[in-house]
Amino acid sequence: MTYRFNTPGETRQMLDVIGAPSVEELFEQVPAELRLDRPLNLPPRLCEIELEQHVAGLATRNIGRNGRMCFLGGGVYDHFVPAAVDAIAGRSEFYTAYTPYQAEASQGSLQAFFEYQTLICQLTGMDVSNASLYEGGTAVSEAVFMAMRCSKRHSRIVVLGSVHPEYRSVVSTYLGRLKCELVTVPTPNGTADLSAIESAVDDQTACVVVQSPNFFGCLEDVTAIAHIAHRHGALAIQSFDPISLGVLKRPGELGVDIAVAEGQGLGIPMQYGGPFLGILACREQFVRQMPGRLIGETVDRNGKRCFVLNLQAREQHIRRDKATSNICTNQGLLALRATVYLSLVGPQGLREVAELSTARAHYAARTLSSLDGFDLAFDRPFFKEFTLRCRNGADASIAAARTAGFDIGPALRRVDANADSNLLLVAVTECRSKEQIDALAAALRAV
């Protein structure tokens, strides 16, 4: 594509091909009241030098992760990204490749997805992983629909109130036109009460959805919740933090049937809130109902190792009523970033990242909750994120921190209109130091 306007001769040639005498007569079919009868309200044109200066000025208004201290949580975290992730994922054969719909995907791309699936299975302790989904929220929804197909139950879904409000909103939207009841179990104390879950689950329930670490940062009793689901013939779905598995038990060891996650922490920058990476893994018995793509390993006619699209049961390939998902593709480039990241850090490196995040988050929780007017909202075990109660309101604390060069939050009211206006999230990753935490405490002390 060239960066120039059509010449009058080119315009005339196009009009001749379509049989229109002029551009004006071409658009005669559009009613006059729908046409713009004045020039567009655009700024004056700029030459190349002026345009570069203007765009550079706009860019300086952005503040990157290195310009402020980030303690933001709620699903997107400031984890360290090794330079090798950018170097490998930025290679032209990966960076410019469009993920093909059909089996003409290159062997290099297929192998990368196969390695991703292998690493996700090792990470989660599950039997099989697909080649990725769009992001964490739709991964939860796809898992819910998968559970409905596996259980052959379509009338009731149980979701814990400690699941990310945006994830619950996506599930609600997906189910909006179906005759399926979405039951939310309240979690006023930061984690679910097992007796409340027992009361909510019945023999028509397709699945129970739990997030651990949950939206408040607290750890749920996933094993006990999975037992409740299984006693009623329902499936257990866990949304997890991939980094947390460096120190916590894997979903496969907790008895869940489907494990999903937002994979942003695995070598993917915060990048203005997306795009990110949806992770989904399950037990082998449910693989036929798994959404998205599944890459397999085989040998070609010469006996050489090769990779194929084993399973992509979408509406493009089989009858619509038999399709497992409307997902058109997978997050190829971001799945590659996660693959490179996990390969680089390895099990020991992941453990170190998780331990550093845990230790520094707990130091921050002790330090901030010791300030006058601040305390921990929930007395529950947590991983790298915790909920802080601010006597003078979450917004005042966020503003004071922002003035001092720190970003904290979000306030729970921002993502849940029914939440207490005094509550906010604080997340601490391996990137934050004790000195930075102390400086944040000094900034909040003024509140």
Specify which residues 129 forms β-bridges with. 281
| Predicted pLDDT of residue 63 | 78
* In the predicted structure, residue 100 carries a pLDDT above the cut 70: no
Q: What is the mean pLDDT of residues 342-350?
A: 97
| Predicted pLDDT of residue 97 | 66
| Predicted pLDDT of residue 326 | 65
Which phi and psi (to 5°) does residue 46 adopt?
Answer: -125, 150
Contact 85, 337 (CB under 8 A): yes
Contact 404, 443 (CB under 8 A): yes
For tokens 């360290």, the residue is: 80
* In the predicted structure, residue 108 carries a pLDDT above the cut 90: no
| Predicted pLDDT of residue 96 | 77
Alpha-carbon gap, residue 334 to 360, rounded angstroms:
27
| Predicted pLDDT of residue 416 | 85
**CB-neighbour burial class of residue 67 (10 A; exposed 0-12, middle 13-18, buried 19+):** exposed
| Predicted pLDDT of residue 66 | 72
Cis peptide upstream of residue 31 (ω within 30 degrees of 0): no
* In the predicted structure, residue 314 carries a pLDDT above the cut 80: no
| Predicted pLDDT of residue 330 | 80
pLDDT single digits (tens) 118-176: 999 999 999 999 999 999 999 999 999 999 999 999 999 999 999 999 999 999 999 99
pLDDT single digits (tens) 280-313: 999 999 999 999 889 999 999 999 999 988 876 6
Q: What is the mean pLDDT of residues 307-332?
A: 70
pLDDT single digits (tens) 211-256: 999 999 999 999 999 999 999 999 999 999 999 999 999 999 999 9
Q: What is the mean pLDDT of residues 27-44?
A: 90
- Asked which of 84-98, 262-276, 306-320, 421-435 is least confident by mean pLDDT, the reply is 306-320
| Predicted pLDDT of residue 187 | 95
Output the average pLDDT for the chain: 92
* In the predicted structure, residue 34 carries a pLDDT above the cut 60: yes
Contact 405, 360 (CB under 8 A): no
Contact 307, 107 (CB under 8 A): yes
Alpha-carbon gap, residue 198 to 160, rounded angstroms:
12
Alpha-carbon gap, residue 266 to 248, rounded angstroms:
16
| Predicted pLDDT of residue 95 | 82
In this structure, the number of other CB atoms found within 10 A of the CB of residue 407 comes to 18
* In the predicted structure, residue 98 carries a pLDDT above the cut 70: no
| Domains, the chain, with CATH or none | 69-79+346-445 (3.90.1150.10), 84-341 (3.40.640.10)
| Predicted pLDDT of residue 328 | 64
| Predicted pLDDT of residue 93 | 83
Residue 2's pLDDT band, with cuts at 50, 70 and 90, is: low
* In the predicted structure, residue 35 carries a pLDDT above the cut 60: yes
pTM of the model: 0.87
